[in-house]
């Protein structure tokens, strides 16, 4: 594994190991504002979601990509967006990212956004898929799967999807909190829980039963999958105090030797805790994705904090973008900048040589992800 | 809402949305040291509370206001303080803050400090009042209110006080922790709890019953009040691990559409968590008040951390000063400096234009508070 | 207590108030890598524990001490280590630290590392001992102490060991979590717990009974000991979410007036929480030891964060090194550098005078520890 010393954070290709599809629709102001916040509601009267780090970063960095002056007003920006059309805007912003690979999680409102093929096309990049475990289970129930056949059907559909997908994702953080019982549940308990779930009726399609979610996780562990976990920061539907990655400690002990790898996503404001887990557990990786585009001018500092306890072979890049092409663009741009700045600081403080900076750059930009997701394995999947 | 681009953190008027009254007494060394720490006890033998960030900041920044050299010794400072007299010292230090409005919470040892009128006079500024909910309830019980009449009496006195007060404050963090049951308690349960409280006798005047405190909170919610919550850092009487603002998540969900606004005070070391809540919940605001004057030379960094997830229209200024005029002075001085530094950093990193820096400065310095407390409403109160 | 203004972080002697013995063995690559991570397992295939902050710091700062160029490769470094021999390497790295005093906790794998006398010799420094409470109890049980005699035997052996030891250490964080019941357990409950422990058989020599551990702690409190607590970051055996120092709050309230002093060790990522406790409780001290050598180029920032709420008379230095001489070396080097940088920053921001910087340097480098451990008391122990 040798690295060209001319590699820098500015020119390295990026593997975005966790994002969703982009929208190509034409967006009115309300729709656009809804995409640039994790809030589910409008900004208070007299205010706008543009008055935030991500809003300022859009005006500063995305406006020029659309042919406007930096810090064009929100109105001018949205006007220009409409002129160009959503599809063209997405193409421009994505193609300027230098992202070579999008790893796309398809389980959230998939009908409103591009699928992996569409993303590959819009971004002129490779696209890979990650499957959301909870959605897979919900689709079975929606499709009429009986409780008695659930475990077998889930195993079958997971195996099928894994022929293409390079990993799975869990939103246990949202549904049950990360303080769930870490052991594999007994089959009979799973069957009983599925029965209760089905009996819950139409409202109950949303899976939030801990026994079932633990079953899904352990099915993935047994298959030695790369398993992404939502951690930390998200929308108002999450109980953030139950989203510290430390709550997974016992689950990580139990799965250490399984062959599964665990990717802790976003992690803010628990990224230092995530770095600790990435040091002590050989199968744990992490990123500070969502906290990069959403903290804008402060993202340098958060990226710096992610280089503390975590070994350099455990840090990943993601944008965690959903919908707005601006979020991919800023995720990449701010990550490159923050990485450059932190490596410069380390060179200043401790004389990190150019070739070591280049090597660490490649590790976090794409090599760690290719290794962790086993993208270079002959069978092209994450199977053992 | 337009801002003069010549507005800077140095010249903007400040609305201190949470502080207490100042003392005008002449203070001996022990009394003064007790006011510049959150500890309830003397510093260990051979040490002094002056050997701290706030102590150094007093010697550095307050000494010149009293006519001494920077970094005058603690002895010289206290000697000069006595020469000038407590009232004169308070006037000098307050009047140099550039604070235009003090929002004063009157529920803590009100007899030892100036009331709002006194503060307005000493500081040559406007003063507003915030009422401490728990104190209001305690005063009713002290006054002999029977359990059967408590709810009606509380409603009446709250309405009365709100004719002048612009908001309420809760110290649930101190009394029951923020992990309280978030729902409105049933009236019968409240009555029963008040009966138990009264039966508890003289020692029990301190209200620490969760059912009653939840009742007070919901009375404020129902009136669409601005509700301040003590969060995070405080004295040794607080269980800081039960003071993360994240523990309020469900309460915030339940109150989102009520018209009430929730102000998270101080928040350190949970200010990043507070910033998250301020982003996702439209009715949540926060400040890092107490952590500014108490961290002195490090306060720039904490102020910077408060500009991550929180929209710029949700960040407030407070000193949370109590007693010592130095704390107001440092709160304002260090906030101005930290805000200037963070805006300069953002300008350096992302070319924030001067007019945007001026606009953000006004938002956090006073506009957000005036909007959140509805100070510009015709009826001059926070009523809907 | 006067300080020479020529004292700087570079030239001040350091009192390392918490470390373990060094190994003098010749180490193969696997053994060495195991010593420079808190992980219990190898780095994943194709990676190395050298690709981390501590690994880079070793190549940057320790290589020259062994006569190599900075950033010598891991292979060259280990080859040179073998050439010189483990004993010579340890001598060189230790003697270049400027550590005048090692306070050595002897309870972890004592047979693999130097004892205090060996450390004094290898490091040309004074050595002091700290006794691990849980190990003391385990040794009694291994030695066949019956349950009925445990309390008396423990009291006797603790008194004996305290004739030489200057303090005690508890790893309650590892064994029961810091959310233990804070009160002193009843004697009968302790006796019953010891009986259960003994009946547990050979596997049960590891003490993890909360009643017994609480008893050990209170025996130390009663003797007004300096009590070190493992806090925060450690290996995969710790439940980090149960290691916030805030969980000790009630224990700290109960012990405040006892004469005991409580030293919170490492604390990362809860060092801000530790700083709060050090402000509000007069008997609480803390350090960010382990997080200094393990965060390398980022350690400046963590040291800076430790200078927020904590009074300057409560911050201590430690390396928390175990085994590898590199960890002591880096602990000292990076602490000196981080302290210098933070004091320079404070001088820049707030004109801290040279003599105050010198004074604060001495406080945190050794004076606080000498005071807190009562090393200057006539009887040379921590007895009241």
> What's the rounded Cα separation, in Å, for the pair B123 and C47?
63
Written as six digits, the tokens of C270 are: 């809860």
Q: Which of A46, A235, A337 lies closest to B280 in CB terms?
A: A235
Instruction: Using pLDDT thresholds of 50, 70 and 90, give the confidence band for residue C245.
Output: very high
The average confidence (pLDDT) of chain C is 95
Q: To the nearest whole angstrom, how far is the Cα of B349 from the nearest Cα of chain A?
A: 7
The string of pLDDT tens digits covering residues B302-359 is 999 999 999 999 999 999 999 999 999 999 999 999 999 999 999 999 999 999 999 9
A294-317 mean pLDDT: 98
Burial of B383 (0-12, 13-18, 19+ CB in 10 A): middle
| Residue B163 predicted with pLDDT over 60 | yes
Q: What percent of chain C has pLDDT over 90?
A: 92
C190 and C152 in contact (C-beta within 8 Å)? no
B228-239 mean pLDDT: 94
> What's the rounded Cα separation, in Å, for the pair A332 and A318?
8
Cis peptide, bond prior to residue B332, ω within 30 of zero: no
Beta bridge partners of B168: B131, B227
A111-119 mean pLDDT: 91
Q: Which of C308, C311, C345 lies closest to B295 in CB terms?
A: C308
The string of pLDDT tens digits covering residues B275-287 is 999 999 999 999 9
B86-113 mean pLDDT: 93
Beta strands in A4-58 (DSSP E): 14-19
B296-300 mean pLDDT: 98
Judged by CB atoms closer than 8 Å, whether chains meet at B71 and C351 is answered as: yes
> What's the rounded Cα separation, in Å, for the pair A8 and C232?
35
First to last CA, chain C: 22
What is the reported pLDDT for B5? Answer: 86
Judged by CB atoms closer than 8 Å, whether chains meet at B297 and C350 is answered as: yes
Instruction: Using pLDDT thresholds of 50, 70 and 90, give the confidence band for residue C382.
Output: very low
Instruction: Using pLDDT thresholds of 50, 70 and 90, give the confidence band for residue C112.
Output: confident
What is the reported pLDDT for B297? Answer: 98
| CB neighbour burial string for A263-287, b if at least 16 within 10 angstroms, e if fewer | bbbbbbbbbbbbbbbbbbbbbbbbb
Alpha helices in A19-73 (DSSP H): 29-35, 53-57, 63-65
Q: What is the DSSP letter of A112?
A: G
Pairing of β C99-105 and β B226-231:
unpaired
B261 and B281 in contact (C-beta within 8 Å)? no
| Residue B155 predicted with pLDDT over 90 | yes
C296 and C302 in contact (C-beta within 8 Å)? no
| Interface with chain C: mutation pick from B35, B269, B290, highest number of C CBs within 10 Å | B269
DSSP output for C297-365? GGHHHHHHHTSSSS-TTSB-------B-HHHHHHHHHHHHHHHHHHHHHHHHHH---HHHHHHHHHIII
B138-154 mean pLDDT: 96
Radius of gyration of chain A (CA): 21
What is the reported pLDDT for B333? Answer: 98
The string of pLDDT tens digits covering residues C48-75 is 999 999 999 999 999 999 999 999 999 9
> What's the rounded Cα separation, in Å, for the pair B132 and B109?
12
| Residue A379 predicted with pLDDT over 60 | no
B chain contacts of residue A53, beta-carbon cutoff 8 Å: 307-309
* Higher per-residue pLDDT: B111 or A244: A244
> What's the rounded Cα separation, in Å, for the pair C371 and C12?
17
Pairing of β B284-286 and β A284-286:
unpaired
Block residue for tokens 């949970």? B270
Give the DSSP H or E segment for A129: strand A126-132
Helices (H) and strands (E) in chain C, counts: 18, 7
The string of pLDDT tens digits covering residues A186-236 is 999 999 999 999 998 766 789 999 999 999 999 999 999 999 999 999 999
| Residue B164 predicted with pLDDT over 60 | yes
What is the reported pLDDT for B201? Answer: 74
User: For chain C, which domains are there?
Assistant: 14-22+98-372 (3.20.20.140), 26-84 (no CATH)
Q: To the nearest whole angstrom, how far is the Cα of B212 from the nearest Cα of chain A?
A: 25
Written as six digits, the tokens of B320 are: 């949370």
B13 three-class SS: coil
| Residue B56 predicted with pLDDT over 50 | yes
A190 and A224 in contact (C-beta within 8 Å)? no
Number of Cα atoms under 13 Å in the Cβ half of residue B51:
22
| CB neighbour burial string for C116-137, b if at least 16 within 10 angstroms, e if fewer | bebbbebbebebbbbbbbbbbb
Give the DSSP H or E segment for C286: strand C284-286
Judged by phi (left if over 0) then psi (alpha if -120 to 50, else beta), residue B83 lies in alpha
| CB neighbour burial string for C221-251, b if at least 16 within 10 angstroms, e if fewer | bebbbbbbbbbbbbebebbbbbbbbbbbbeb
Written as six digits, the tokens of C274 are: 């530790």
Judged by CB atoms closer than 8 Å, whether chains meet at B53 and C308 is answered as: yes
| Residue B112 predicted with pLDDT over 90 | no
B chain contacts of residue A56, beta-carbon cutoff 8 Å: 346, 350, 352, 356
Chain centre to alpha carbon of residue B12: 20
> What's the rounded Cα separation, in Å, for the pair C281 and A102?
51
Beta bridge partners of A22: A323
Written as six digits, the tokens of B332 are: 């304002």
What is the reported pLDDT for C383? Answer: 36
Q: Which of A70, A296, A300 lies closest to B351 in CB terms?
A: A70
Beta bridge partners of C132: C169
Sheet with C126-132: strands ordered across: C14-19, C99-105, C126-132, C165-170, C226-231, C261-266, C284-286
What is the reported pLDDT for B3? Answer: 86
SS (H, E, C) C168-204: EEECHHHHCCCCCCCCCCCHHHHHHHHHHHHHCCHHH
A chain contacts of residue B308, beta-carbon cutoff 8 Å: 53, 291, 294-295, 298, 302
| Phi, then psi, of A131 in degrees rounded to 5 | -105, 135
> What's the rounded Cα separation, in Å, for the pair C19 and C116?
10
> What's the rounded Cα separation, in Å, for the pair C309 and A75?
44
- Cβ-based neighbour number of residue B195 at 10 Å: 14
| Interface with chain A: mutation pick from C233, C247, C271, highest number of A CBs within 10 Å | C233
Q: What is the DSSP letter of B69?
A: P
Judged by CB atoms closer than 8 Å, whether chains meet at A304 and C298 is answered as: yes
Instruction: Using pLDDT thresholds of 50, 70 and 90, give the confidence band for residue A334.
Output: very high
Q: To the nearest whole angstrom, how far is the Cα of A191 from the nearest Cα of chain B?
A: 31
The string of pLDDT tens digits covering residues C196-222 is 999 987 667 899 999 999 999 999 999
Q: To the nearest whole angstrom, how far is the Cα of A18 from the nearest Cα of chain B?
A: 20
B239-245 mean pLDDT: 95
The average confidence (pLDDT) of chain B is 95
> pTM of this prediction?
0.97
> What's the rounded Cα separation, in Å, for the pair B68 and B62?
9
Q: What percent of chain C has pLDDT over 70?
A: 97
Instruction: Using pLDDT thresholds of 50, 70 and 90, give the confidence band for residue B50.
Output: very high
C263 and C287 in contact (C-beta within 8 Å)? yes
> What's the rounded Cα separation, in Å, for the pair C266 and B359?
42
The string of pLDDT tens digits covering residues B13-44 is 999 999 999 998 999 999 999 999 999 999 99
| Interface with chain B: mutation pick from A269, A294, A300, highest number of B CBs within 10 Å | A269
Q: Which of B155, B140, B146, B133 is nearest to B191 (CA)?
A: B146
Judged by CB atoms closer than 8 Å, whether chains meet at C313 and B37 is answered as: no
| Residue B110 predicted with pLDDT over 90 | no
Give the DSSP H or E segment for C151: helix C150-161
């Amino acid at each position: 594994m040798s690295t060209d010393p001319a590699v820098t954070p500015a020119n390295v290709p990026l593997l975005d190991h966790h994002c969703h599809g982009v929208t190509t629709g034409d967006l009115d102001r309300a729709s656009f504002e809804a995409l640039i916040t994790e809030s589910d509601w409008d900004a208070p009267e007299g205010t706008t979601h543009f008055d935030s780090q991500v809003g300022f970063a859009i005006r500063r960095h995305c406006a020029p990509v659309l042919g406007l002056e930096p810090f064009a007003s929100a109105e001018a920006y949205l006007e220009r967006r409409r002129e160009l059309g959503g599809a063209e805007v997405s193409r421009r912003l994505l193609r300027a990212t230098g992202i070579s690979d999008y790893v796309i999680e398809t389980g959230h409102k998939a009908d409103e956004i591009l699928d992996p093929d569409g993303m590959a096309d819009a971004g002129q990049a490779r696209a890979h898929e990650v499957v959301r475990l909870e959605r897979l289970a919900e689709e079975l129930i929606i499709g009429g799967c009986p409780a008695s056949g659930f475990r077998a059907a889930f195993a079958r559909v997971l195996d099928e999807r894994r022929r293409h997908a390079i990993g799975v994702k869990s939103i246990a953080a949202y549904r049950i909190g990360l303080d769930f019982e870490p052991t594999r549940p007994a089959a009979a308990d799973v069957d009983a829980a599925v029965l209760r779930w089905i009996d819950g009726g139409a409202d109950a399609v949303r899976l939030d039963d801990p026994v079932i979610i633990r079953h899904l996780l352990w099915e993935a562990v047994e298959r030695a999958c790369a398993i992404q976990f939502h951690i930390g920061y998200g929308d108002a539907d999450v109980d953030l105090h139950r989203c510290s990655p430390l709550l997974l400690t016992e689950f990580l002990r139990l799965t250490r030797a399984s062959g599964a790898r665990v990717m802790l996503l976003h992690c803010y404001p628990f990224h230092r805790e995530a770095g600790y887990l990435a040091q002590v557990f050989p199968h744990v990786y992490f990123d500070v994705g969502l906290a990069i585009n959403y903290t804008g001018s402060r993202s340098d500092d958060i990226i710096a904090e992610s280089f503390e306890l975590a070994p350099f072979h455990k840090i990943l890049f993601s944008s965690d973008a959903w919908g707005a092409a601006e979020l991919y663009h800023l995720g990449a741009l701010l990550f490159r900048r923050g990485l450059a700045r932190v490596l410069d600081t380390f060179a200043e403080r401790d004389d990190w040589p150019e070739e070591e900076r280049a090597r660490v750059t490649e590790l976090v930009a794409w090599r760690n992800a290719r290794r962790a997701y086993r993208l270079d394995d002959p069978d092209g999947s994450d199977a053992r």
